[in-house]
């Protein structure tokens, strides 16, 4: 069995043993990518062509596959150690076959009558060592692609043009754009879900969540041409909150305590209610956010764990993804080495407005 798959099977087996379950099945993109190492994709009709699971009775990892996709998946997706069962698309679905043949009690990461629910983030975190290397590369290359575009921006460029440039730059490295927001002067610095044909004007912020092989990172970069009064102070405040959150992530035990540290940091910069605007961060992994930094959060922070740090103050948005190590160290993943930075509190490095 492939080493990465074996590590996931060990964790999954222990999880099922504690819950007295005999099998688990994955059908979400996040669950399949975690188990198999990369997402299997969908067929031409947009359907998931595979259900993959682990059966404790025989220690097997099984994949029930639409026969039309089976050859592609065996050649390019499935690691060694996956037993493949083919099903004709006109006879049944992979999920139906998996459900009929699975010993009970069992669980799934989608709603299935008679099955218990799997806690995806609990299984996928902390990251495995093979994940960490891939997250490092994804973070570095995503930052480099976004920053290449940002260094060439002009006030007369439109939000549409910026978005197109970022998407093309990421695609060149095989990176998919999950979320892309561009905030020109007219938006007041708040990135919108849909870029417009408006010119950037005095300043712009580009915020991206990107994915490759099922893994995600998030970042934001800001460029100022002739910024308005208060622009620099707002970004300084957002960076201070981010630095406090990044430092706290290495010390606190769970998402609720991390939120409390960032809420205190908002208050320290004179913005005690700014946290209400949007989540100040969350764990990233096989979902864009495995969980959020939120009041009374109980998700454990167990390294290795990738965290998006995304506080917003008066329209100023900070964005980076960091890695919290097993030893409590913190490393910026979205660091290309080519964007100006500044040292913040406790050795935290933060990108500057360019």
Q: In the chain, what are the domain boundaries? A: 3-123, 129-351
Spatial distance between the Cα atoms of 64 and 40, rounded to a whole number of angstroms? 12
Instruction: Give the model's pLDDT for residue 97.
Output: 95
Alpha-carbon distance 82 to 77, whole Å? 10
Averaged pLDDT for residues 91-116? 95
The model's pLDDT over 211-258, given as tens digits with 9 standing for 90+, comes to 999 999 999 999 999 988 888 899 999 999 999 999 999 999 999 999
Q: What is the pLDDT of residues 160-205, one digit of tens each?
A: 999 999 999 999 999 999 999 998 887 665 666 688 899 999 999 9
The structure tokens listed for 171 are 């695609």
* pLDDT bracket for residue 1 (50, 70, 90): confident
State the Cα–Cα distance between residues 90 and 237, nearest whole angstrom: 58
Q: Specify the pLDDT at position 315.
A: 83
Q: What is the pLDDT of residue 77?
A: 93
Token pair of 288 as six digits: 């864009």
Beta bridge partners of 65: 50, 86
- Write down the CATH number for the domain with range 3-123: 3.40.350.10
Two tokens, residue 12:
């999954």
The set of residues, in sequence order, having a beta carbon less than 8 Å from that of 41 and lying 6+ positions away, is: 49, 77
The yes-or-no verdict on residue 345 having pLDDT over 70 is no
The predicted model scores a pTM of 0.95
What local confidence, expressed as pLDDT, does residue 348 receive? Answer: 72
- Residue 227 has a pLDDT of 87
Q: pLDDT for 46-74, tens place per residue?
A: 888 899 999 999 999 999 999 999 999 99
Query: Is the CATH number of domain 129-351 2.40.100.10?
Result: no
CA distance 239 to 341: 11
Q: What span, in angstroms and rounded, lies between the C-alpha atoms of 306 and 229?
A: 35
If one counts every other C-beta atom within 10 angstroms of the C-beta of residue 276, the result is: 8
């Amino acid at each position: 069995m492939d080493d990465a798959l074996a590590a996931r099977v060990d964790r999954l087996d222990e999880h099922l043993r504690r819950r007295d379950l005999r099998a688990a099945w994955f059908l979400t993109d996040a669950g399949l990518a975690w188990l198999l190492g990369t997402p299997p994709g969908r067929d031409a009709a947009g359907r998931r062509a595979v259900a993959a699971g682990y059966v404790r009775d025989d220690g097997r990892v099984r994949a029930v596959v639409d026969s039309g996709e089976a050859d592609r998946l065996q050649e390019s997706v499935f690691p060694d150690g996956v037993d493949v069962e083919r099903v004709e698309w006109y006879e049944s679905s992979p999920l139906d076959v998996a459900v009929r043949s699975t010993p009970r009690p069992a669980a799934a990461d989608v709603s299935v009558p008679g099955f218990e629910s799997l806690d995806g983030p609990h299984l996928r975190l902390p990251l495995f060592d093979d994940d960490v290397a891939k997250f490092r590369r994804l973070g570095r290359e995503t930052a480099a692609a976004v920053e290449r575009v940002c260094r060439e921006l002009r006030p007369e460029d439109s939000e549409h043009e910026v978005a197109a440039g970022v998407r093309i730059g990421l695609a060149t490295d095989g990176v998919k754009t999950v979320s892309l927001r561009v905030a020109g002067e007219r938006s007041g610095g708040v990135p919108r879900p849909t870029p417009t044909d408006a010119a950037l004007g005095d300043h712009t912020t580009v915020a991206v969540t990107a994915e490759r092989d099922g893994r995600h990172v998030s970042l934001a970069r800001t460029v100022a041409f002739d910024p308005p009064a208060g622009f620099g102070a707002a970004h300084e405040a957002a960076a201070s909150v981010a630095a406090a959150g990044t430092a706290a992530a290495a010390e606190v035990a769970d998402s609720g305590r991390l939120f409390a540290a960032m809420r205190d940091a908002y208050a320290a910069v004179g913005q005690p209610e700014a946290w209400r605007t949007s989540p100040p961060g969350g764990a990233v992994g096989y979902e864009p956010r495995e969980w959020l930094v939120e009041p009374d959060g109980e998700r454990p922070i167990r390294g290795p764990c990738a965290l998006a740090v995304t506080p917003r103050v008066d329209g100023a948005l900070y964005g980076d993804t960091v890695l919290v190590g097993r030893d409590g160290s913190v490393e910026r993943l979205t660091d290309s080495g080519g964007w100006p930075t500044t040292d913040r509190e406790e050795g935290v490095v933060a990108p500057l407005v360019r």
